Amino acid sequence: MTEGVRAQQREQTRRALVAESRQLFATRGYAAVGLAEIVRVAGVTKGALYHHFAGKAELFRAVLAEVQREVAHRVATTADAEEDPWARFTAGCQAFLTASTDPEIQQIMLIDGPAVLGWNEWRALDEAASGRHLADALTLLIEEGLIAPQPVAPLTHLLSGAMNEAALWIAGAADPTALADTRTALARMLDALRAP
């Protein structure tokens, strides 16, 4: 067997572990899923799992990173469809809120993410995935005079925290209008930032 074939098999095993773990974590939550079940569902051995990941937490980290990349891609795709910088910014924020209402994303990214990795590590991953894009968008809006000059870092954290909290609230809300009402509130909040 050539090294290229072995590398391809290793990558297939890694992808299977991440995909099957993601499905299990999304439907049942991190705490309810064991390594024995993951390897059984993925059709691999525990040795294969440990070849790729140090344990369940590291495997979860890979799943979370994948989910965060997908959400960031959805947000960027929606935002990039807009020509106007302000419309691009608000569309991106609304797209994040909408994407975060997906039960799989809620469970992995917003519920288990901070619980499994701890707040500091989860926050660092969140900043790397979406916080950087939000900061870049805010910087551009300030440079173009659409938002009054101000420090970008605190504004980024305030908006990110508000949107994450809103997504969690929507997840637990029994009200079918929760998303629409939150989108309206977010639009008003963002409009308040706009320079006169």
pLDDT value, residue 22: 97
Residue 190 has pLDDT above 90, yes or no: yes
Residue 20 has pLDDT above 70, yes or no: yes
Residue 86 has pLDDT above 80, yes or no: yes
* Integer angstrom CA distances of residue 40 from 19, 20, 28, 36, 47: 13, 10, 16, 6, 12
Report H helices in 100-172. Answer: 103-105, 113-117, 119-126, 132-143, 152-172
Q: How far apart are CA 70 and CA 134, in angstroms?
A: 15
Per-residue pLDDT tens over the stretch 93-149: 999 999 988 889 999 998 999 999 998 998 888 888 788 889 999 999 999 999 999
pLDDT value, residue 124: 87
Per-residue pLDDT tens over the stretch 149-174: 999 999 999 999 999 899 889 888 88
